[in-house]
Amino acid sequence: MTTLPGDLVEAAGRCLVLGFDGTALPDELKRLADTGLGGVILHTRNVAGRSELRSLTDELRALRPGLLVTVDQEGGGISHLARAGAPETPGNWALGVADDTGLTGAVADALARHLTECGVTVSFAPVADVHRVAANPIVRTRAFGADPVHAARHVTAWIEATLAAGVAPCAKHFPGHGSTTVDSHLGAAVDARDEQVLRETDLLPFRAAVAAGVPLVMTAHVVYPALDPAAPATLSRRILTDLLRTELGFEGVIVTDALEMKAIADGVGEAAAAVAAIGAGADQLIIARPDPGLWLRCRDALVEAMADGRLDPARVVEAARRVDALAERFAQPPPPSHSPVADIGLRAARRAIRWKPLPGPVLDPFVVDLHRPPKPALEWSRTDLVRVLREVMPGTDGVAATRDPVDVADVLRRAQGRPLLIATEDPDLHPWQAAVRTALLAGRPDALLIATGLPDAETEAADGLCVYGRGRANLRAVAEALL
């Protein structure tokens, strides 16, 4: 690595937010903390329990008191701290359906209070994306809705409650990931809509977030040709500096989504992207992959780029100063204050359910739960509806499937003489679910349909039960509705 003054090497270190494996700190992470590491991002793989997690976060701060400890804790199905007893919440779309900003704030408060107990002070939430395209595979129920004004109100409520709890919230994914048809974890994503449409829809929740004082904004690895045809937002000076900084007036920390996502890694590559993102105006780079070699390549790429003139050292120093200012406010968890509202997540999930009331309780049903597998990097475990219903109705039976084949004849045989429930999760995106449902309905037209994701036309036409999420709170609310 090229020799640079130590303060510039430390400034480059401030720009990194690193993920690691297991519940013990890797030696390379400790060494990087000694040379200015900005932060770490926790995942389910780092969590054994609440007390163990607090010991881990205390150990991290002992390495460097200004280290930011962060996590993706959106609620609903995206909860990396479930093993640490995180509150069960229904997810953003369900909160948008309930449409009570006080309720949204109470849910955000409960999640934030739990984070402070665990020693986590930065939450990469809320999702400020607006779900506008039916075929979008990645935002969906993570958004508060499809209407930008509606979403903006709930984004504001989430941010204000999280800040009040002493945790730094983060609005993501700027300038909006809700109108792509590709998941940027998996490939290049493009939003080809014109600039006026982008400004009238996707930018509104981010404007509201800035007005609410959000201290971090996360970038989208999405190309917006109307804004910058040459680069995804993460690498675009036009989007990060001209639009977010200058036009929207954002003065906090701009953090990238994970650089190892394929939209970046399969394009310019992580190390080159690190240089381009900081040059474009980003302040911190998430590298969630637990790969010390990758961490060092990205850090060293920043140092080399400063040494050979491709990256202005003043830009890196500016980024480091923003990170330090954030750490001054949020690196240390605040002391405990009030307790969150008890069972707020379940209360919210109950409020979100939409359904035609049943003539009586549905007891000991046979359940066919059709859903997609967990998304890598976001969902590390998922609970199926059969298991949750069995907790309250031990006589429940059924099958859970994440892909074909489902033995329809066997299901119909086993479900004889008992209520049949058919649950789907976004069958418009996963046609195998619709096919299984159609085959089951041919034999059991009396079956009750349940939508755990966004409901499709068939579920709505049948007055099915819609819960708008797959968090445990959503599925527990299904059990209550049946009873």
User: Residue 406 belongs to what domain range?
Assistant: 353-482
Q: Is residue 12 part of a domain?
A: yes
Structural domain contains residue 337: no
Q: Are residues 304 and 422 in the same domain?
A: no
pLDDT, position 298: 98
In a domain, 338, yes or no: no
| Residue 335 within a domain | no
Domains of the chain: total:
2
Tell me if residue 114 is catalytic. no
Check whether residue 367 and residue 315 sit in a common domain.
no
CATH number at 377 reads: 3.40.50
pLDDT of amino acid 2: 57
Q: Is 177 a catalytic residue?
A: no
pLDDT digits (tens, 9 = 90+) for 218-238: 999 999 999 999 999 999 999
Do 72 and 221 have their domain in common?
yes
Among 109, 129, 191, 257, the active-site one is 257
Within-domain flag for 340: no
Q: What is the pLDDT of residue 16?
A: 98
Same domain, 145 and 36: yes
* CATH number assigned to the domain comprising residue 326: 3.20.20.300
Any domain includes 346: no
Tell whether 42 and 165 lie within a shared domain: yes
Query: 324 with 361, same domain?
Result: no
pLDDT digits (tens), the chain, 483 positions = 556 778 999 999 999 999 999 999 999 999 999 999 999 999 999 999 999 999 999 999 999 999 999 999 999 989 999 999 999 999 999 999 999 999 999 999 999 999 999 999 999 999 999 999 999 999 999 999 999 999 999 999 999 999 999 999 999 999 999 999 999 999 999 999 999 999 999 999 999 999 999 999 999 999 999 999 999 999 999 999 999 999 999 999 999 999 999 999 999 999 999 999 999 999 999 999 999 999 999 999 999 999 999 999 999 999 999 999 999 999 999 987 778 888 999 999 999 999 888 888 999 999 999 999 888 777 777 789 999 999 999 999 999 999 989 999 999 999 999 999 999 999 999 999 999 999 999 999 999 999 999 999 999 999 999 999 999 999 999 999 999
Domain check: are 367 and 306 in the same one? no
For residues 397 and 259, membership in a common domain is answered with no
**CA–CA dist 342, 67 (Å, integer):** 31
For residue 347, being part of any structural domain is answered with no
Helix axis angle, 344-352 relative to 472-482, nearest 10°?
60
pLDDT of residue 378: 77
**Identified catalytic residue from 131, 185, 221, 430:** 185
Q: Is residue 1 part of a domain?
A: no
Give the integer Cα–Cα distance in Å for 31 and 303: 17
Sequence length of the chain is 483
Other beta carbons within 10 Å of 108: 30
Shared-domain flag, residues 20 and 169: yes
Half-sphere exposure of 7 (CA within 13 A, CB side): 6
Q: Are 263 and 358 found together in one domain? A: no
| Beta bridge partners of residue 127, listed in sequence order | 172
Residues 6 or more apart whose CB falls under 8 angstroms from that of 25 comprise 56, 59, 60, 63
- Could you tell me which residues come within 8 angstroms of residue 326 by beta carbon, excluding any fewer than 6 positions away? 68, 122, 168, 215, 216, 252, 253
300 and 363 assigned to the same domain = no
Same domain, 322 and 371: no
